[in-house]
Amino acid sequence: MADDLLTEMFDAEPEIRAWQERIRSFGVATPGSALARDDETWESSAPLATALAKLGSSAEHLLAALAVVKEMHPLAPYTLLRTAFLSASHAVWILAPPEGEIRQARALYVGQQFNANYQTYLAVANKAEQIITRPAAIVLGHLKIRELGARMVAATLPGTGGRGDTDVIRLAAKSVADSALQLESVAGQPLTADHWVDQAEAQWRMMSGDTHSLPWSALARRRAGSSEPMGVGRLHSFDVHLDERAVAESFHVSLMTARHAWRLLDELNAEP
């Protein structure tokens, strides 16, 4: 199975580039489709546009991870794959509910989070410059008004519970597991839905460790037979090398999640 995941990883580039091309040429939702109805309600945070933005981020980071693997960097792929995984999971989280009002609420929540973080950036950037330019102040004011409106609307809609990143990862993984996919573990043993969710979270936490400068992947995969105790203080003495099979496991859960998001999008965008 490990070799199959390696093959999958290195063969995935054309598929991912095709996703990028689809995003560039997508246009609007199919008239009369579920996504078209969703988008009419709250255009500034439409489920289609929000999901496509997330899928675009996922695709770009998957391709970047492939490039890093080819350059033989042992730690860097996990940070890129974390973003790919979270972006694809957000797309699944938005698109998976059968109820349009829940899809709208979740897209609205993601949009509100974007605006809130952008507000923080603008405030810090303006403070760093020791001056608030008129255009930046106007944008900041508009964002605050939009965020207030988004919060008020989102609060009245169901379905946005479980909004932390790990919650989204688990909810998206559950959607992947409940689909018609043939689920297999990295060891080649059949998985139940719960096992897939747990495995997805384990991969997520490992990727997050590397992102936050906690290189658990290196500590867990140090030189075979080493008697050195584990600990970040001894990381410099480890023979840290690129473990392509380990990266392929993280790539696999990210790719499977993105594929599932595209299936959901196509189903919701189908002609009535």
Per-residue pLDDT tens for 58-77?
999 999 999 999 887 877 89
Q: What is the pLDDT of residue 254?
A: 95
Per-residue pLDDT for 24 more than 90? yes
- Phi/psi region, residue 188 (left: phi>0; alpha: psi -120 to 50; beta: rest), is left
Q: What is the pLDDT of residue 210?
A: 79
Q: What is the pLDDT of residue 29?
A: 92
Domain extent listing, the chain? 2-103+161-268
CB-based contact 95:268 (threshold 8 Å): yes
Per-residue pLDDT for 214 more than 80? no
pLDDT-above-90 percentage for the chain: 38
Q: What is the pLDDT of residue 97?
A: 93
CB-based contact 222:230 (threshold 8 Å): yes
DSSP state for residue 127 in the 8-state scheme? H
Per-residue pLDDT for 45 more than 50? yes
Please name every residue paired with 184 in a beta bridge, in sequence order, or none if there are none. Answer: 190
CB-based contact 248:168 (threshold 8 Å): no
Per-residue pLDDT for 223 more than 50? no
Per-residue pLDDT for 177 more than 60? yes
